[in-house]
Structure 1
Amino acid sequence: MVHSMTAFARVERAGVYGTLSWELRSVNHRYLEPHLRLPEAFRDLEGSVREALRQGLSRGKVECTLRFSEENAAPSLQIDEQRAGQLIAAAERLSSMISQPALIDPMTVLSWPGVLVSQNADPQALNAEAKALFTAALDELKAGRNREGVELARLIEERLQAIRVEVAALRELIPGMLAAQRQKILDRFAELSLEADPQRLEQELVMLAQKSDVAEELDRLSTHVGEVSRVLKTGGAAGRRLDFLMQELNREANTLGSKAFDPRSTQAAVNLKVLIEQMREQVQNIE
C-alpha cells in the first residue's frame, strides 16, 4: 500500500491540570520536514516528537501544534494544616474569653487566606500526557495518509489501464498505417511519373518504415506501466520511484509523438501524455 503525504489529525484530552490538544497537518515535500509549535513549558518534548515523526513517516512537510489550556482544569486544592491549626487555636483562645461563644464554622476557617492552597501542575506528568497524546495524533495522521494513499493508487491504476488500452489499440493499427504510408509514397511516384531504381526505392521504403516503427516505444511503455503497477502493490515509501517512472513514461510518449506519421498515432501520443501527466500530479502526493 502506498501512502499519501497529505492528511490532517486533531486529538484532544481533558485532564486534571487542563486540556491538551495536538493538531498535525501534512503536505507533500521532497523530504521529511517537521515544524513544531510548542508552548514554552513543553519544549522538552521537541526531541521525542521529532524522533517519533522520523520513525513513523518518510516524507512530507508536517506541522505539529500543541495547545494547553488550564481553563477547564479540575480544582486540586490542599489544606495548609499548620495555618488552619493556628487559626483554630486563636479562635479557641478568643472563645474562652466569651461567655457564650459560637461554634467554629469549618467553612469560615477554609475561607481564611492561606488555608486552602492550590496544587500546581506536575511538569513531568504533563509532558508524559502530551507525549502519549502525540502518539495518538500521529497514528490518526498516518491512518489518514493511508486512506488517501489507497485512493491515489486507485486513480493511478485507472490511468494505467487507459494507457494499456491506448497502447494495444495503437499496436494493432501500426501495420496498416505502415502499409498505407508505403502505398502513399508509391502512388506519389506514379502520379509524378518518376522512374526509380526498384531496389533503391525498396531500401528507402524499408528505412522509412524502420524510422516510423514505434514497436520498441510501445514495448517500453508496457514495461513501465507494469512496473508502476508493481510498485503500487508493493507499497512503502514509493513516491520517488514512481516519480522516476513517470519521467520514463513521458520520455517514451514524446518519442512516440516525434515518430508519428499518421493522425491516429499523433492522437495516441497526445492521449498518452495527458494520462501520464494526470498520474504525475497524483504521484507528487505519494510518500
Structure 2
Amino acid sequence: MIQSMTGFGKHVIQLPSKKITIEIKSLNSKNLDLNARIPSNYREKELELRKIIANSLLRGKVDFGLYIELTGNETTTKINEEVVKTYMDQLGNMANGDNLRLLDIAMRLPDALKTDKADIDEEEYKTIQEVLKKALSEINIFRTEEGKVLEKDFITRISSLQELLEEVKKMDVERIGTIRERLEKAVADLKVELDKNRFEQELIYYLEKYDITEEKVRLKNHLDYFSSTLTSADSNGKKLGFISQEIGREINTIGSKANFAPMQQLVVQMKDELEKIKEQMLNVL
C-alpha cells in the first residue's frame, strides 16, 4: 500500500501547570528535510526527537513544532531586582520622574530580566515523546488516506495504458502490411529491374528494424510490475518512479519505430497517461 508524503498530525496534552502541543506537517521531497522548532531548554534533546521522526516518516519536507505553554504559576523568567534598582537610581539622578515611569524605562533596558536554565524534567520529556508518537500516528494515518487516493488514480492510469497497448497490438499487423505496401509501391514507381529475391531480403531486413515485438512484451511486463508493486506492504515511491521511467522508454521506442500515423496517435495518448502518473509520483513516499 502506498503512502503520500503530504500529511498533518497534531496532538495536545494538558499537564497540571503546562500545555504541551506538537504539530507535524509534511510535503513531498526527494529525501527527509526536517525543520524543527522547539524550546531552547529542549535543544539538547533535538537529535533524539529528530531520530524518532525520521524513523517514522522516512521521507518528505517535514515541519516539526514543539510548543510548551505555561498554565500555572511556574516560570523560569524572573526580574533582576538589583539591576532594575540600579537603573532607576541612575535615571532618577538624571531626570525627575515618577517611579512608575522610571520602572517602565528600567524594565526595557538590558539584563532587566533573567532566565534560569531549567533542567529537563525526565517525566515531562517522556510525556513529550508519547505526544510525539501520537502526532506521528495521526500524520501517518493522513498519509495513508492520501495514498489510497493516489493508488486509485494510478490503477486507472495503468489500466488505460494496458488498453492502449492492446490497441497497439491489434494495429501492429495492419501497420506492417501498410509499410510493406508503401515500400513496394515506392520501388515500383522507380520503374527499374530488381532481383526479386534480393529485394525480398532487403525488405525483410528493413521491416525488422520496425518490429516492436520486444517493446510490446517489455511494456506489458513493466505495467504488470507497476501494478504488483502498488499492492506491496511498503510504500515504494522510488521503485515506482524507476518503473515509470522504464515504461516511458518502451513507449518512446514504440513511437520512434511506429512509422504509422494511427499508432503514433496511440503513443501520444500513452505518453499523456504516463505524464500524469509521473506528476502524481512526486508525492509518493
Give the alignment's TM-score, normalised by structure 1: 0.78
Deviations 1:47-83 (A, max 9, x none): 332221232222222211111222xx2568xxxxxxx
Whole-Å separation in 2 of the counterparts to 1:42 and 1:19? 15
Larger gyration radius, structure 1 or structure 2: 1
Report 1:101-116 matches (<5 A). none
Offset of residue 147 of structure 1: 1.0
Equivalenced residue count is 242
Q: In structure 1, give the amino acid aligned to 2:205.
A: M
Whole-Å separation in 2 of the counterparts to 1:135 and 1:17? 22
SS in structure 1 of the partner of residue 231 of structure 2? helix
Whole-Å separation in 2 of the counterparts to 1:44 and 1:14? 23
Tell whether the 8 Å contact from 2:12 to 2:19 is kept in structure 1 after alignment: yes
Whole-Å separation in 2 of the counterparts to 1:59 and 1:236? 13
- State which of 143, 152, 159 in structure 2 corresponds to 1:161: 159
Offset of residue 122 of structure 1: 8.0
Offset of residue 260 of structure 1: 1.9
Equivalent pairs: percent with the same residue? Answer: 28
Whole-Å separation in 1 of the counterparts to 2:66 and 2:38? 5
Whole-Å separation in 1 of the counterparts to 2:235 and 2:162? 25
Whole-Å separation in 2 of the counterparts to 1:135 and 1:214? 53
Please provide the CA RMSD for this pair.
2.0
**2:143 maps to which residue?**
145
Whole-Å separation in 2 of the counterparts to 1:190 and 1:121? 95
**1:248 maps to which residue?**
246
Distance 1:218 1:122, change over 3 A: closer
Offset of residue 37 of structure 1: 0.8
**2:40 maps to which residue?**
40
Tell whether the 8 Å contact from 1:58 to 1:237 is kept in structure 2 after alignment: no
Whole-Å separation in 2 of the counterparts to 1:47 and 1:140? 22
- State which of 185, 190, 193 in structure 1 corresponds to 2:191: 193
- State which of 118, 122, 125 in structure 2 corresponds to 1:124: 122
Distance 1:262 1:122, change over 3 A: closer
Offset of residue 283 of structure 1: 1.6
Whole-Å separation in 2 of the counterparts to 1:158 and 1:237? 18
Report 1:200-279 matches (<5 A). 200-279=198-277
**1:108 maps to which residue?**
none
Give the alignment's TM-score, normalised by structure 2: 0.79
Offset of residue 121 of structure 1: 11
Whole-Å separation in 2 of the counterparts to 1:147 and 1:173? 40
Whole-Å separation in 1 of the counterparts to 2:38 and 2:152? 37
Q: In structure 1, give the amino acid aligned to 2:6.
A: T
Whole-Å separation in 1 of the counterparts to 2:218 and 2:4? 27
Deviations 1:207-258 (A, max 9, x none): 1211111111111110000111111111414111111111111111111111
